[in-house]
Amino acid sequence: MKIVLITLVTAISLGACATGATMYGPALSSGMGFSTQQIENNRFQVSFTGKNAEESRNLALLRAAEVTKENGFSHFRVIGSSVTGDQYRRSPVSTSVGLGVGSGGYRSGTRTNVGLGININDLGRALNGNKVTANLEVILTNGEQKADNIYSADGIIESIGSRTVVK
């Protein structure tokens, strides 16, 4: 019984490690965070790797807003976007219960065994959780324009930035 309890606590602990908000900052060795690449004078590729699609999209928008302000512009237009990663995969930790009945051996009688197993398919993923990357291609502009997918850098920073934990 003690082993079963320790096993369950370990499984719950592994799951807990994979929850919580991703810290906002440049991508580190874990792969979590943002990256920015300038394509042209006012055109950038911005990505953010987080733990779920919504978080990654929002923080990629925040990074695009920061890049917009850093380069002296007020607005940006998203001209391309994608989300990739393991956002829909099932948990890397699985459990199983087995029951066995047997007889024979050098002692007569019947024996019953019960076993509990925990399988960790990918220990790294179990510890780090899902990784989802949102990619945005943006064009920086000045002044609000009448077009789809135009964002105010100040509006995004105020909205998303106020709810973000910075590294």
pLDDT, residue 76, reads 96
pLDDT, residue 61, reads 97
Residues 160 and 59 sit within 8 Å (Cβ to Cβ)? yes
Q: Which residues make beta-bridge pairs with 35?
A: 47
Q: Give how far the C-alpha of residue 15 lies from the chain's centroid of Cα atoms, to the nearest Å.
A: 13
Task: Kindly report, residue by residue over 33-67, the tens digit of the pLDDT.
Answer: 999 999 999 999 999 999 899 999 999 999 999 99
The residue with tokens 């950038």 is 44
Instruction: Calculate the average pLDDT of the chain.
Output: 77
Indicate the number of domains in the chain. 1
Among residues 82, 81, 77, the alpha carbon closest in space to that of 152 is found at 77
Per-residue pLDDT of the chain (167 residues; tens, 9 = 90+): 555 445 544 544 544 444 566 788 898 877 899 999 999 999 999 999 998 999 999 999 999 999 999 999 999 999 999 999 865 555 555 566 666 666 655 666 666 666 666 555 555 555 556 789 999 999 999 987 777 889 999 999 999 987 777 76
Name residue 56's amino acid.
Answer: S
Residue 6 parent element (H or E): helix 2-17
pTM of the model: 0.66
Residues spanned by the domain of 38: 2-163
Q: Is 105 helix (H, G, I), strand (E, B) or coil?
A: coil
pLDDT, residue 112, reads 65
